[in-house]
Copies of this chain bind each other. A is one copy, B any other.
């Protein structure tokens, strides 16, 4: 009882000084919190996945048509990267904006350093990477590139890796001394890198190429060896169908020593042996895969699809490497996110204005949350993962 009284009082006081859209701040853990992007309205819904509820909403985040989100190392704050160059720090406990800057004219995403002290943003215009203090959002470093920057990822050792779309380069920036980044440039890595990922173990940075086939891979344990090409056939060149949407790379699933990768333009998920980086299998699926994501225990891989098949989700059993289940959540399944240990998965179903929550063993829908044109779903556990 006293606890509630205190929270309510705190709410009034905080509400009075905490900026737009305050909600009752309660003393609570933050390990089960998350953010759902409500793309059309430039706001996010704050959610929790212990009881599957919406805790509040935060408006005024600008253009979220290609929003990326990372979390502070204490899992209290979300950093929202807007398409319009806005960087907003959202307090998940008070439901308020703790800081906001517009740091460039046109941005494509960001990352947070291993130690949680630096937030980096990849910019198209002006092309480059800007680095900010995670606490204050004060500028720390500016890395102009003369090119659109894509595929910005954090890497172990307080490094950031990113790709230059126009000049076909990968840069590795060591921010051990934040004020003066040490840059290692890798040129001629391939035409028009368009996205990238860091493998979940933090070892490999891999860029997809729009201008040619194959993937550019940098071994972060051995950058001296340079960037090498893997999966030569991977890309639009192999497409048997028009490519409706280049698949996301960050969603790559790694399970049982293998990577499960969305084929480009084909109704297939590729299976790649991570020891040799060679393709060892292809799994036929319902449409052109967009996100191919492994349940945290690696036993299942869940796949959503590009138009016209984006109303379907399929589940691949990793042991048998076959599709074992199909869901029809409704049109516009844009993203999925597993609970930290994988017992549940959340799906954003844009055209139903819903987030649907499924039990990953029974495949039953256990909850439905209202959300306005939801796109990305991000849980705070990402704060403790590499390359997310």
A residues adjacent to B (C-beta < 8 A): 2-3, 5-6, 9-10, 13-14, 16-17, 25, 27-32, 48, 50, 71-77, 92-94, 114-116, 156-158, 176, 201-203, 221-222, 255-257, 274-275, 296-299, 319, 340-343, 361, 380-381, 383-386
Contacts and interface: CB of A to CB of B under 8 A. Distances in A.
A340 B32 CA distance: 16
A176 B342 CA distance: 15
Contacts of A17: 2
Nearest to A384: B340
Contacts of A384: 31, 340-341, 381, 384
Contact of A31 (B31, B156, B257): B31
Contacts of A361: 157, 176
Number of this chain's copies in the complex: 2
Given A6-B9, A16-B2, A202 B298 contact: yes
A222 to B, nearest CB: 7
Given A10-B10, A275-B257, A386-B341, A297 B31 contact: no
B156 A341 contact: yes
Contacts of A158: 343
A381 B385 CA distance: 10
Contacts of A297: 156, 201-203, 386
24 contacts: A2-B13, A2-B14, A6-B9, A10-B10, A25-B27, A27-B27, A28-B93, A29-B74, A29-B75, A29-B77, A29-B92, A31-B71, A31-B75, A32-B73, A73-B340, A176-B361, A201-B256, A202-B297, A203-B256, A221-B319, A257-B257, A257-B274, A341-B386, A381-B384
A-B residue pairs, 10 tightest by C-beta:
A31-B75, A29-B76, A29-B74, A340-B384, A202-B297, A32-B74, A156-B297, A29-B30, A6-B10, A29-B75
Given A73-B50, A201-B297, A298-B202, A342 B10 contact: no
Nearest to A32: B74
Given A343-B158, A383-B340, A222 B319 contact: yes
B50 A116 contact: yes
A340 to B, nearest CB: 3
A298 B198 CA distance: 14
Nearest to A155: B297
A156 B319 CA distance: 15
A28 B74 contact: yes
Nearest to A379: B384
Contact of A115 (B157, B202, B343): B343
Contact of A13 (B6, B75, B221, B342): B6
A29 B72 contact: yes
Contacts of A383: 31, 340
A15 B31 CA distance: 24
